Amino acid sequence: MATVLVASNRGPVSYVLGDDGSLDARRGGGGLVSGLSAVSAQESLWVCAALGEGDREAVRRGIGEPGVRMLEIAPEVYADAYNGIANSVLWFLHHHLYDVPREPVFDAGFRRRWESYRAYNRAFAEALAAEADHGAAVLVQDYHLALVPGQLRALRPDLRIAHFTHTPWASPAYLRMLPDDIREELLAGMLGADQLGFHTREWASAFTECAAPAGPGRSRVEVYPLGVDADELRSLAHRPEVDEKLARLRDEVGDRRTIVRVDRTELSKNILRGLLAYRELLTTRPEWHDRVVHLASAYPSRQDLAVYRAYTTAVSDLAEEINAEFGTPDWQPVLVSVQDDFPRSLAAYRLADVALVNPVRDGMNLVAKEIPVVSESGCALVLSTGAGAYDELKDDALTVNPFDVSQTAEALHTALSMPPADRTDRTKRLAATATALPPQRWFLNQLDALRS
């Protein structure tokens, strides 16, 4: 039995099934993994979903990490809950991504998928109820598991339950698109928690406004802006494999300036408008020709969804167009990497003169916090108002409206031209702010508040 439990869709480890039947464990990084390391492994349990064939096979063979329990959920139920509801409905609502003349459509198919979402949440609630010690603290993560707090409260009224939303929260107008009964179920699920956490005040107030019609509940709404662990990040960024990638990038870039971005190929990250801004910069400011390279890591995400596949293709196509339009035999203006290559991303961080982070809407965006910590010669941050990180970093960043391509192009020019002393000072302050609440503190602060 555990006294501290974490629940999330994606866990800290995943298994890859080899052709020869072998299982290879891959450990993930990220804020939650470092956060939970603040608690001893004996007292904690991380409940997550078995995501693919490899994970399912590991569950069947009884293979696993201590302190991690993977839930095997029927593949059709999982697909409907994860792709059909979490990523196609809740993600779209919270990020305001719908193309409203056509979407969303809440029909019988949607209601069937919602039942799967409910069942998938229930599987988590039941596992947590079975594993939690009396009075244990349970920290539920993200929009995949919005119903868990209410379901778990009904099963185990003795528990202390927290929920943390890593995305933005939809504005009331957006949330009202949901059918009334479903919206009420969603809010009641969340309000089953004692404590509801968000990365920014803006997302927390959006939730409070949305929940107001449900009346005053038991939940405290709090803001915990996740930051980065400078020592851990710097040591990762100086591993030999990163040094190798850096050497290769240096060869490609030469003595040109770099504009760096790193994202999942995610609709909300606004990669296309970022590329359009770079194109406009090269058009309006020809003095940058052959003097700058845009290093864009856009690693594929959620490729089961057609709209994500199309977006990934559009990103590669636009990068190619820009290279065809401006490139010369000696200069490729955009270098895109569409692989999940963390060492390359870290190498790009180290080389960054300018970081471009321009999401239309984003819960936090840790890239905006990581680059200033790792960049070697100080980097100017072009940051959109849509990023959660905007709230903390705006004073030392060049801030832009994510929809305004011309403004973004001008900000790139200003960033590239920033005097070195100014750039260094800003980078120092950005790094200090970015590391103000590192993952372990972020996690323990929530745990302390939940227990008090």
Residues in contact with ligand G6P by the rule CB under 6 A: 10, 142, 166-167, 301-302
Which candidate, 137, 135, 127, places its Cα nearest to that of 5? Answer: 137
The two three-digit tokens of residue 373, written as one number:
């910590």
Taking the complex as a whole, the smallest distance from the CB of residue 85 to ligand G6P amounts, in Å, to: 13
Q: Give 12 or 150: the residue with its C-beta nearer to ligand G6P.
A: 12
Beta partners for residue 119, in sequence order: none
Chain residue at closest Cβ approach to ligand G6P: 166
Taking the complex as a whole, the smallest distance from the CB of residue 91 to ligand G6P amounts, in Å, to: 8
Taking the complex as a whole, the smallest distance from the CB of residue 187 to ligand G6P amounts, in Å, to: 19
Q: Residue 432 and residue 417: Cα distance in Å, rounded?
A: 23
Taking the complex as a whole, the smallest distance from the CB of residue 247 to ligand G6P amounts, in Å, to: 30
Taking the complex as a whole, the smallest distance from the CB of residue 384 to ligand G6P amounts, in Å, to: 17
Q: Residue 173 and residue 188: Cα distance in Å, rounded?
A: 18
Q: Give 362 or 410: the residue with its C-beta nearer to ligand G6P.
A: 362
3-state DSSP call for residue 257?
Answer: strand
Q: Give 267 or 418: the residue with its C-beta nearer to ligand G6P.
A: 267
Q: Residue 137 and residue 6: Cα distance in Å, rounded?
A: 9
Please give the distance of CA 351 from its chain centroid, rounded to a whole number.
Answer: 23
Q: Give 301 or 337: the residue with its C-beta nearer to ligand G6P.
A: 301
Q: Give 156 or 361: the residue with its C-beta nearer to ligand G6P.
A: 361
What is the residue-wise DSSP string for 225-248? -----HHHHHHHHTSHHHHHHHHH
Terminal CA-CA length for the chain: 21
Q: Give 166 or 423: the residue with its C-beta nearer to ligand G6P.
A: 166
The two three-digit tokens of residue 167, written as one number:
């995305």
Contact in structure between 358 and 169 (CB atoms under 8 Å): no
Taking the complex as a whole, the smallest distance from the CB of residue 452 to ligand G6P amounts, in Å, to: 27
Quote the radius of gyration of the chain (alpha carbons, Å): 22
Q: Give 142 or 396: the residue with its C-beta nearer to ligand G6P.
A: 142
Scan for tokens 């915990």, then name that residue: 224
Taking the complex as a whole, the smallest distance from the CB of residue 428 to ligand G6P amounts, in Å, to: 27
Q: Which amino acid is at 320?
A: E
Q: Count Cβ neighbours within 10 Å for each residue of 205-216 and write b for 16 or more, e otherwise.
A: ebbeebbeeeee
Other CB atoms within 10 Å distance of the CB of residue 158: 10
Q: Give 142 or 280: the residue with its C-beta nearer to ligand G6P.
A: 142
Taking the complex as a whole, the smallest distance from the CB of residue 67 to ligand G6P amounts, in Å, to: 19
Task: Give me the helices (H) in 132-229, please.
Answer: 148-155, 172-175, 180-190, 201-211
